[in-house]
Amino acid sequence: MTELLTAAQMRAIEQAAIASGEVTGLELMERAGRGVVEAIFEEWPELAPSWGPAPKPPEFSGQDEEGHRAVVLCGPGNNGGDGFVVARLLKEAGWAVEVFLYGDAEKLPPDAKVNYERWGEMGEVLPLTPQASLELAHRHIVIDAMFGTGLARPLSGLGPFLRDICDCVDAGGSLQLQERWPFSPPVVAIDIPSGICADSGRPIFDEAAAERIRRGSSPVCAAANLTVSFHARKLGHALALGGFWCGKVVCADIGISSQASRTLPRSELVKMANESGSRFKRNGHKYSHGHAVILSGSVGKGGAARLAARAALRVGAGAVTLGCPPAAVIENAAQLNAIMLRAVKGVDGFNAALEDDRINALCLGPGMGVSDESRGLIEAGLKSGRAMVLDADALTLIGRDALLFGMLHEKCVLTPHGGEFARLFPDLAETLAAPATTGPAYSKVDATREAAKRAGCTVLFKGPDTVIADPSGRCSINASVYERSAPWLATAGSGDVLAGFITGLLARGFAPMRAAETGAWLHTECALSFGPGLIAEDLPEELPKVFRALGI
């Protein structure tokens, strides 16, 4: 979980820095452009001025330019302004630079206009129109400075260029320049690939463009091998397919200070994880570290609950009891040791178990089934007022039953994946699934926040871009993208383990939002630590290693 900003927050930070006299808009644009050039040289040191002559394939010898070559595509706003700065700085470094402008130079905002004019003293600006002949092969870098955080509507008239850009990105595969040269130069997006909404990670397109996608013709947005953003990552770099479109994201420091953060920095998460580890177990006995009860399904359906129970115990709950129907006791007894087992006969049996007031956290749903009895168990759990995770079948039942939904309280954590979210909040899911035609688009953050408010409890909306929100509007993202990418988490039962982690943390006394944030973060850490080949059982077993690496 890194600090992620909306476009509006970024603008506010920029405006505050300018208003305080700390910096001018023009200086910020200069720093942004410089940040892009530095990031390029850092990523591809062979392009840096000190490195030596530009790579040249045999068929290229004899062509006019000896040095490195760039194409810079500028747009009508300040993103385009950054592009003019990059063009100038590369030219000053000895590059041959071709600059195209989409839009009317006269209408450029003031700082972008200044940089347009500065570039105008060094080279020409060609119009980026359907008639433009854009040659990307034999260039060392393509810069996408068409649209950034100000994208307001679908791109039009750029289809062929977007196709060329996406082809370069796809064809490259690797970031290695030598492997790409000369036909697939790397594409560097300034701030975010053009056409992607910086708040939602979703491409902005209309019905006409949707039809083009269906026909497999021009794409609706650009893609990039490297995206250079400023100050802090934006939501759009992490949500939806942002991680896919952006390639690799680096954040250039443009020298402004700010407090704005809607998500948790790593240090805070490490602190939380620390609290969940063994260090805080030095005092007290097992029940001072909480007692979690996890209800399992019927015979042959106990795997999910056993995974959750193991995860709850590993993450630090003092004691974990698996409650199962009497007929499933033998099956579960054969599989469990440290986890206690209790036969729970229907709702009465569960209510009897809940008389033990040491039980302070529940997990209902994994493998539970959607019978009337399951419904009764959920109702009993909710009535008990305990902190609880509601996952899987419990979410399906709550989605069907307004009475149960109305019983949700602030100590609950709902952990839906996309399908379960749609069952619980069909209208929000529909809004999120509808094509995004204007920016800023409705995002997974918006949907999860609205869901948490409506449910009156914490909602963790799973996926590679897991979003967690509570009813107060607090929101975090646990994005498994870039350096935290762990697609092998998409394995059967990994959601049950997540439910168990959160339950264990609730038992440890973590507040619901904190338990959900920490559980999601540890879940990804375990997956990263284990690596590909992971199955759900491996996740809790990886936790001691993760705790040790965190110094716990």
Q: Which residues are annotated as a binding site for K(+)?
A: 79, 144, 194
CA–centroid distance for 139 within its chain: 32
Cα–Cα distance, 30 to 27 (Å, whole number): 5
* 264: helix, strand or coil: coil
For residue 405, the partner it binds in ligand ADP, K ion, ligand NPW, none, with Cβ less than 5 to 8 A by kind, is: none
Question: Token pair of 318, please?
Answer: 């003092």
**Residue (of 126, 63, 35, 53) closest to 95 by Cα position:** 53
For residue 460, the partner it binds in ligand ADP, K ion, ligand NPW, none, with Cβ less than 5 to 8 A by kind, is: none
Q: How far is the CB of 68 from ligand NPW (least distance, A)?
A: 23
Cα–Cα distance, 285 to 282 (Å, whole number): 9
Cα–Cα distance, 148 to 444 (Å, whole number): 20
Question: Token pair of 179, please?
Answer: 């492997």
For 248, other C-beta atoms within 10 Å of its C-beta total 15
- Which lies closer to K ion via its Cβ, residue 242 or residue 504? 242
**Residue (of 427, 503, 493, 492) closest to 460 by Cα position:** 503
Q: How far is the CB of 540 from K ion (least distance, A)?
A: 42
For residue 463, the partner it binds in ligand NPW, K ion, ligand ADP, none, with Cβ less than 5 to 8 A by kind, is: ligand ADP
Residue pair 185/171 in contact by the 8 Å Cβ criterion: no
- Which lies closer to ligand NPW via its Cβ, residue 67 or residue 109? 109
Which one of 1, 9, 77, 140 is in contact with ligand NPW (CB under 6 A)?
Answer: 77
Regarding 455 and contact with ligand NPW (CB under 6 A), the answer is no
Question: Token pair of 548, please?
Answer: 């040790």
Annotated binding-site residue numbers for AMP: 462-466, 495
Q: How far is the CB of 75 from ligand NPW (least distance, A)?
A: 5
Site string for ligand NPW, 110-149 (x = CB under 6 A): -------------------------------------xxx
φ, ψ at 295 (rounded to 5°):
-90, 135
Could you say which residues in the range 251-270 bind ligand NPW, by CB under 6 A?
A: 254
Residue pair 331/306 in contact by the 8 Å Cβ criterion: no
Which residues are CB-contacts of 152 (< 8 A; sequence separation ≥ 6)? 204, 438, 439
Which one of 151, 168, 305, 460 is in contact with ligand NPW (CB under 6 A)?
Answer: 151
Which residues are CB-contacts of 402 (< 8 A; sequence separation ≥ 6)? none
Regarding 32 and contact with ligand NPW (CB under 6 A), the answer is yes
Regarding 75 and contact with ligand NPW (CB under 6 A), the answer is yes
Cα–Cα distance, 57 to 60 (Å, whole number): 5
Annotated binding-site residue numbers: 78-82, 144, 148-154, 191, 194, 304, 367, 417, 462-466, 495-496
**Residue (of 400, 450, 392) closest to 424 by Cα position:** 400
Regarding 383 and contact with ligand NPW (CB under 6 A), the answer is no
For residue 495, the partner it binds in K ion, ligand ADP, ligand NPW, none, with Cβ less than 5 to 8 A by kind, is: ligand ADP
Residue pair 200/444 in contact by the 8 Å Cβ criterion: yes
Site string for K ion, 190-229 (x = CB under 5 A): x---x-----------------------------------
- Which lies closer to K ion via its Cβ, residue 78 or residue 296? 78
- Which lies closer to ligand ADP via its Cβ, residue 236 or residue 464? 464
Q: How far is the CB of 111 from ligand NPW (least distance, A)?
A: 7
Residues that bind ligand NPW (CB under 6 A): 10-11, 14, 28-29, 32, 75-82, 109, 147-155, 190-191, 230, 254
